[in-house]
Amino acid sequence: MDLLIQTLINGLILGAGYALVAVGLTVIFGTLHIVNFAHGAFFALGAYATLLIERAGAPYLLAIPLAVLCVAAIGFALEATIVRRALYDQGEHGSIIVTFAISQAIVAAIILVVGPDPLPVPSPFGQTAVSVGGFFLSAQRIFIAAASVAVLAGFALWLRRSVKGQQILAVSQNARGALYSGINVPLIRSLSFLLGIAAAGLAGALMGPMISAFPTMGDANVIVAFTVVILGGLGSIGGAMLGALVIGLGNALFETYVSVSWTPALGWVLVILVLLLRPQGLMGRAQLDRH
C-alpha cells in the first residue's frame, strides 16, 4: 500500500513536469502546424540561462523568470529571422529539417560557449527531501509540480479569457477562417511560437537542478513529450495535459510493478493503442482543417 501511494505520487509529479514540455510543443503545432524539433534545445537553453544568471548573483527563484525571458528573446530572434520566413504554411516536411537544424545549431553553440560537461544548476530546494508520513518527496520535485500546475492553470485561464488567447484558439482551429475574421494570423503565430518556446525554457529552468545542465539534456524529455502530445491529440492543449498525466502515472506504475527496461516502450504502446482506437488522440479533433 505504501509502495502504491509513493508510486502514485511519483507519477503525478512526473506528469506535471511532462505537461509543461508537451503543452509548448502542442501550442506550436496547433497554430503553426510545424513539428518543433528544436524544443529540446530551448529546454536546454532554459537550464543554461538559469545557471548563468545564478552565477551572476541572482537567486534561483528570480533566475527562473529571467531565464524564461532570455529564452523567449532568443526564440523571438530565431522566429523573426528563420522560422517566419522559412516555415509558415510550408507544411511539416520543411519544418522538420529547419527546426532540426536550429536545434543542432543551439546545441553546438552551447558546447562552444559553456562546454560539454554537465553542470549543476543550484537550487535552494537542492537535495532536500521532505518526508511526509513515511513518503519521500524531493523538495525540487514538489516545486516543479507546483510551478507547472500554476503556470498551466494560468495559461489555460489566459487562453479562455484574453483576446490574444482566444485568437490563438481560433487560429489553431482554422487559420484561414481566422485570417478572414480579421485576426492578425502572422502575429498570433509568432506569439504562439514564443509561448511554446518560453514553456520549454521554463521546463528547463525547473528541471535543471534535477537533471543538471548539459547540451543534449532536452532530448529524452522531448521524446517523452512527443508521446504525450500524440497521445493527447496533436494540437490539443487539454489533450497534452491529460496525456502527460496518463504517461506520468503509467510510467511510474509500470516501473514499480512490472519492468523498468520496458517502460519507454509503454508510452509508445499507449500511443499505438490510442491511434488504433481513436486516431485523433484522446482529445484531438477528428480531422485537422488544413489550407
Partner 1 sequence: MTGWAVEAAGVEKRYGGVTALKGVDLRIPEGAIHGLIGPNGAGKSTLFDILCGITKPSGGRVSVLGMDVAALPAHHVARRGVGRTFQRTATFRDSTVRENLLFASYGRMRHSVLQRMARAPAWREDMAAFETRADAVLETCGLAHLSDQPAAALAYGTQRRLAVAVMLMNDPKILFLDEPVAGMNDAETAEFIALVRDIARGRTIVIVEHDMAAIGALCSEVLVMVDGAQVVSDTPERALAHPDVVAAYLGTDADD
Partner 2 sequence: MKLRAKAALAALAVLVATPAAQAADPVKIGMVLPLTGPTAGYGKDGKLGADMAAAEINAAGGILDGREIELVYEDEKGAPQDGVAAVQKLMTRERVQAIIAGMNSSITLAESAITKNRILHVNPAAQADAITAQGSPWLFQINNTASTNATIFHTYLTEQMAPKAIAVMGENTEFNKAVLENLREIVGESSVELAEIATYDGATTDFTSIITRLKSTGADMIYVIDAYPARTAQIWKQIRQQGGFPMEAHAVGTVQRSAIVPAEGAMEGVITADIFIAEGATGDMARFIDRFTEQNGVAPNKVSLVVYEAVKVVAGAMDKAGSADDYALISDTLRGNVWTTPRGALSFDDNGRAKAPYFYIHKVTGEDVGLLDTFEVE
Residues in contact with partner 2 by the rule CB under 8 A:
3, 6-7, 10-11, 13-14, 107-108, 111, 115-120, 122, 126-129, 131, 136, 138, 141, 210-217, 220-221, 223-224, 251-252, 255-256, 260-261, 263-265
Q: Do strands 135-138 and 129-132 pair parallel, antiparallel, or not at all (unpaired)?
A: antiparallel
Query: Residue 201: which H helix or E strand, with range?
Result: helix 185-211
Nearer to partner 2, 5 or 273 (CB): 5
In the list 178, 197, 225, 274, the residue contacting partner 1 (rule: CB under 8 A) is 178
Q: 86: which 3 cell numbers?
A: 522559412
Q: Which does 169 bind (CB under 5 to 8 A by kind): partner 1, partner 2, none?
A: partner 1
One symbol per residue from 196 to 225: x for binding partner 1 (CB under 8 A), - otherwise; what is it? ------------------------------
SS3 state of residue 101: helix
181 binds partner 1 (CB under 8 A): yes
Q: Which does 93 bind (CB under 5 to 8 A by kind): partner 2, partner 1, none?
A: none
Nearer to partner 1, 170 or 252 (CB): 170
182 binds partner 1 (CB under 8 A): yes
CA distances from 147 to 51, 88, 103, 207, 229 (A): 18, 32, 26, 11, 20
User: What dihedral do alpha carbons 230, 241, 176, 102 form, nearest 10°?
Assistant: -70
- Angle (nearest 5°) at CA 124 between 123 and 126: 65
Closest Cα partner for 207 from 163, 247, 147? 147
In the list 26, 36, 138, 167, the residue contacting partner 1 (rule: CB under 8 A) is 167
280 binds partner 1 (CB under 8 A): no
Running DSSP on this structure, what letter comes out for residue 128?
-
Q: 290: which 3 cell numbers?
A: 488544413
* Binding site residues, partner 1, CB under 8 A: 161-163, 166-167, 169-170, 173-174, 176-186, 285-286, 289
